[in-house]
Amino acid sequence: MFDTHELGRRPGALQKLTRSVPAPKDLGIAGVIGTPEGVPVELALRLESVMEGVLITGTARAAAEGECVRCLEPLSQEVAADFQEMFSYHDADDRGRTRAEPAADAEYSEDDDRLFIEDGLFDLEPVLRDAVVLALPMQPVCRETCAGLCSTCGIRLDENPDHHHDAVDIRWAALQGLAETVKDGEKDNMGGAEAGVDEKQEK
C-alpha cells in the first residue's frame, strides 16, 4: 500500500519515491520464471496528481528464477518492469457517472478493471503483477546461444560441443553388435564351464 496524502490532491503535484518491498507470492509466470516470494523488489515511482486521481509511473526491478527452456538448467536473471497506471478517486468516479441506469455488462467490466484510491492509499500489487509478467520472457534461456539438449540422447550440447550422432555411429553400432555376438559366444562357453563347476559342487 502506498500513501498519497503527502502528494495531496492539487492537480499537477508530483512526488517521486523509491521503495523496496518483498515480492508477493506467485510473482511471475507460473511454472516458467518468476521472482520468489519475499525477494526484494526495488520500486521507483512517480506519482502525479491529476483531476480524477493519481497517475503512477514506475519501474520495478527484481531477481527472477526459472529454468532454461532449451537445456532445462536453472537460471536467474534480473527483471525490470515498467508500468503506468491510473488510480481514481471514488468521488471523481461518482461525478463522472451518468445518471442513467447502469445497464450494459461492458460498462460493469470496465469499472471492475479500474483501480481506486482508498482513504488516500493505493495498492500497487495488481499493477506490479501484470507488469512483471509482461516483462519476463515466456521462453527463458540460460543464454541466447544455448544449444539445448541432444534430441537423440538428451546430453547437454553446450558442455559437449563435439557431440553428434551420424551415419558413422550407426555403422559403428553395427560393428559393436557384431562384437557382442562374439562375446555371447564366449559367454556360452563360460556358461558351460560354470555348469561344470556346478556339477562339481553338487558332488
What's the CA gap between 151 and 28, in Å, rounded? 29
C-alpha cell at 100: 442513467
Residues 146-165 that bind Zn ion (CB under 5 A): 146, 150, 152-153, 155
- Sequential DSSP letters for 49-96: EETTEEEEEEEEEEEEEEE-TTT--EEEEEEEEEEEEEEEEHHHHHHH
Sequence-distant (6+) residues with CB within 8 A of 172 are: none
Min CB(32)–Zn ion separation in Å: 14
Min CB(37)–Zn ion separation in Å: 25
Min CB(38)–Zn ion separation in Å: 26
Nearer to Zn ion, 27 or 68 (CB): 68
Nearer to Zn ion, 113 or 166 (CB): 166
Size, binding site for Zn ion by CB under 5 A: 9
Min CB(69)–Zn ion separation in Å: 8
Cβ contact 7:13 at 8 Å? yes
Residues 65-104 that bind Zn ion (CB under 5 A): 68, 70-71
What's the CA gap between 117 and 62, in Å, rounded? 26
The contact mask relative to Zn ion for 129-148 (x = CB under 5 A, - = no) is -------------x---x--
Q: Does 33 bind Zn ion (CB under 5 A)?
A: no
198: left (phi over 0), alpha (psi -120 to 50) or beta: alpha
**Residue ranges that bind Zn ion, judged by CB under 5 A:** 68, 70-71, 142, 146, 150, 152-153, 155
